[in-house]
Chain A
């Protein structure tokens, strides 16, 4: 990915972060992301992020598990090698419920975690740019992506006027990720800038 310029503002209180985010969007700066030490509820909507549909993926993986288990067991016990167990029916659905259930859960959980890591580009040895080391400790780090029209000095003073305790401008580049080398992630709603 190409190198880009970012203006970084750090906040130490959530109370200041939310109004600042709102103002940043009102003025029309493009927010890249906000890095926080814990999940701040409502922040994703506040910065105009799209909802995640990870849970839908989880449902589909679960369904896949159900179908796999039911399909495999019924094929094995009715077609491939029917066993006569005391003359009981070969298609013994009630006895298969435990395994069908377990595979549903297994497929769903494993699938979701892998999807989560793939989408979030998280894996061992992946190199990422960290804007501020304290983003995982006690700071809320608001990052503005500079466009051709962005004046970095203006953006910096704008952030510090809105409660940011530390501001800086950085040039950063994203690391490599499967099949995404030159593509932007579409994380935000199309109308992410509040008019």
Chain B
């Protein structure tokens, strides 16, 4: 038994009086019940959006990227904005499951499964944008280095865009493996209590024949720990490499050495916001308030205010450096194209500042951190703000090229570019609705593992033990 003493100051992670069986019941219930009407409405709305996205992409494949209103000056528009936005969102899951595992943050157990699922779906959405941005998408496989009949002509290993190919595909693969290996025991739990033959068969296949053997658990623990150790630098590397796409160029506004940490902080910021959006809904719809407690929500809001402030410092540093360098091109990019509210895209810069830096400061208040409505509202606002951030970085840096003759007329997306973006929402939510219905949305085994140290009922029993010798207590109760 994993009994380690936990201070009374810490909030319980599992509320109410639970035993192991009750945990199984609570978490598996949505899988075994018939989907509600709300689920069908949500699912089919998502599928409809997805289909609209498919049609938008079809238009782009047939007519080319001009269909998106991109031109020779604004070559990266909404598409790359959306790519960076989705990849950023895809950072929270692996951060929660890997970095917080290494930091021994117990509260990760309640939210890691859904957050990892979100990560995987978000990276799937992100991947669509650079692939279709290539224009001739049927040649997308040219980005892979393989001995070919064209020379062989290799890819450019010195290019940040190729680093991205490796980073994103590695990140997707490793996150998927991490997530699925964690799912094996929980699928086995669903399989072993299945009442219908079909469910038994499907979850039997999905669980790979998991038995719960001590040897398997021993290896599983070792696997999770090493995967967490590997994923930790991986998470940081992915958005670092995405930022290299910009930082290694010589475009004023992109040519900045603070991009890697600034991008990583922004990614965590937006990722946690998306986790909040989903968690606030899931815990309510599935009645999982005992497992995703207000304490969990508060912990994530703390991460949001921290990373939001880091991002704020980065914005100010950029402005300072633009002034300090006395480069007129840097100055133009930062003080005209961005910070001047009355420049063509000034609204996006100030929208970003408001949503990312100013408004999240309300989370210094404990009362507001623990308010579900505020949390939900803020999570949406942060994601809008983070979308603005990527739009600001990309479009305001390039819409006025060095020569006024190369200035673009006001770039705004076409309906098909917006449709593509909406389509990725469709993809994301289609996957997420299926996940919520057919997968255990909370890691059952991990909750059981922390139950006796952090469950409300068990913590209460330890109430009068604070006075006792902690060592003696642990010796008596732990094995």
Write the nearest CB–CB distance from B247 to chain A, whole angstroms.
13
Find chain A residues with CB under 8 A from B188 CB.
136
In the bound complex, how far is the Cα of B207 from the Cα of A130, in angstroms? Answer: 13
A106 at the binding interface (Cβ < 8 Å): yes
Find chain A residues with CB under 8 A from B154 CB.
76-77, 80-81
In the bound complex, how far is the Cα of B170 from the Cα of A34, in angstroms? Answer: 36
One of A83, A109, A133, A187 near B177 (C-beta < 8 A)? A109
Find chain B residues with CB under 8 A from A130 CB.
192, 211
Most buried by A among B145, B222, B448, B449: B222
Pairwise interchain contact B222-A113, C-beta atoms closer than 8 A: no
Contact with B along A153-195 (1 / 0, CB 8 A): 0000000000000000000000100000000000100000000
In the bound complex, how far is the Cα of B188 from the Cα of A130, in angstroms? Answer: 11
Contact with A along B211-230 (1 / 0, CB 8 A): 11111111111110111001
Find chain B residues with CB under 8 A from A39 CB.
2, 217-218, 220-221, 445, 449
Chain A residue nearest in CB terms to B443: A38
Find chain A residues with CB under 8 A from B184 CB.
122
B189 at the binding interface (Cβ < 8 Å): yes
Find chain B residues with CB under 8 A from A152 CB.
none
B interface: dominant SS: helix
User: Residues of B within 8 Å of A, CB-based: how many?
Assistant: 68
One of B145, B185, B221, B244 near A136 (C-beta < 8 A)? B185
A134 at the binding interface (Cβ < 8 Å): yes
Find chain B residues with CB under 8 A from A40 CB.
1-2, 214, 217
Pairwise interchain contact A137-B189, C-beta atoms closer than 8 A: yes
Find chain A residues with CB under 8 A from B206 CB.
124
Q: A46-B479, A135-B192 are in contact. Are A37 and B448 (CB under 8 A)?
A: yes
> What 3 A-B pairs have minimum CB-CB distances, sorted nearest first?
A138-B20, A122-B208, A14-B1
Question: Residues of A at under 8 Å CB distance from B?
Answer: 14-15, 18, 33-44, 46-47, 49, 51-52, 54-55, 58, 62, 72-73, 76-77, 80-81, 83, 85, 92, 95-96, 98-99, 101-103, 105-106, 108-110, 112-113, 116-117, 119-128, 130, 133-138, 141, 175, 187
12 A-B pairs (CB sep. < 8 Å): A15-B1, A39-B2, A41-B2, A49-B218, A80-B154, A81-B152, A83-B156, A98-B166, A108-B230, A109-B178, A130-B211, A134-B192
Question: Residues of B at under 8 Å CB distance from A?
Answer: 1-2, 19-21, 24, 145, 151-154, 156-158, 160, 162-163, 166-167, 170, 173-174, 177-178, 181, 184-185, 188-189, 191-193, 205-206, 208-223, 225-227, 230-231, 233-234, 237, 241, 244, 444-446, 448-449, 452, 477, 479
